[in-house]
A and B are shown apart, each in its own frame.
Chain A
C-alpha cells in the first residue's frame, strides 16, 4: 500500500488549504522530498497531510519494504522513519539504505524512551520523540531537508 501526496493530489483533507509561509520558503520546501514511514495509519495520514499542506513534497510508506521501493524510485531528500514496525522494522530499513550507499538523512520517529539512543545507533540525522507537536515536526523537517537540498 503506497499512498502519495504529491502536491495536494491524494490528501483530500488538505484540499483547499493554501501552503503556508512566504512564497520563497514555499519554493524551498517544494524542492524537499520527504518520505514518511510509519505503520500507524493515523500518524502516517497526519504527518503527510501536515507536511504537504506546509509545502513539502511528501510520500507515505506504511512499512519498510514500501519505504525502500520509494527510496529507489522517488529519491527523497529526507526520511522520517518509525522504528517499531512489523515485518521490516526501522533498523532493517536503515541497514538496507546504508548497504545501497544511500546518503539520504534519516529522522527517527518513535514512541519509545530510547529515541535518541536508537537515532545514534543507526547514524540518523535527528529524532522526533512521539508524541511530538506541530512545531517540533516542522522545525526538524525544515532543518534536515534544507542542507541536503542545496547539495
Chain B
C-alpha cells in the first residue's frame, strides 16, 4: 500500500471560521475562514487535505546558545495551496459545503481549476518522494508541504513536541529542549543547556549554559 495510489476526493469543502491546524510552543499553523479543502484519499480513507486560503505559518527556528541566539522566526504567508497529511477526524468538524463564490474568492474560475492545482501539488509531493503507507499514519502526527518561491516544497513534520522543518535555506529539528538548526552555513545543536556551534569558517564552539 503506497502513497502513489492516492486519489483526491470529489467534495470540496471550506472552513467557515479560522482554524488552527497545529500549535506547539514553537510553531503555529493557522488558516483563515473560507479556506478551500479537498480530501486526499487512500483506499477510500481520508488521509489529509489540500488546502487553499489565507493562512500563516509561524515557527521559532531559533536556538539560544551561550554565544547568543542563532536563527530567526519564520513567518510564511500561506496564500498558495498546501498539503496536510494526518488525522482528519478533527478537521472534518470544521468544514462546511463550498459554493461557486468561494472558488471565485480564491481566483478560481471553477471547481476543476482548484482540483487541477491540488492534483499538481499532490503529484509533486507524492511522486517525487517514496512514501510508504506503513511509515506514516494519522497517529504519527502531521506532515505539511508548502510550495516555496524556488518552486520546491517546504516540508514540516510535527508530532507532539517533535518537529522537523526543511526549507530552501533552513533545516530545523526540535524535540523539547533538544534542537538542531542548519541555517546560513552554520549548524547549531543544543541539548540540555549544552550547545555546539559549527560556524561558516568551520570553527567549532562548545558551550554549556544555564538556559
Genuine A/B complex: no
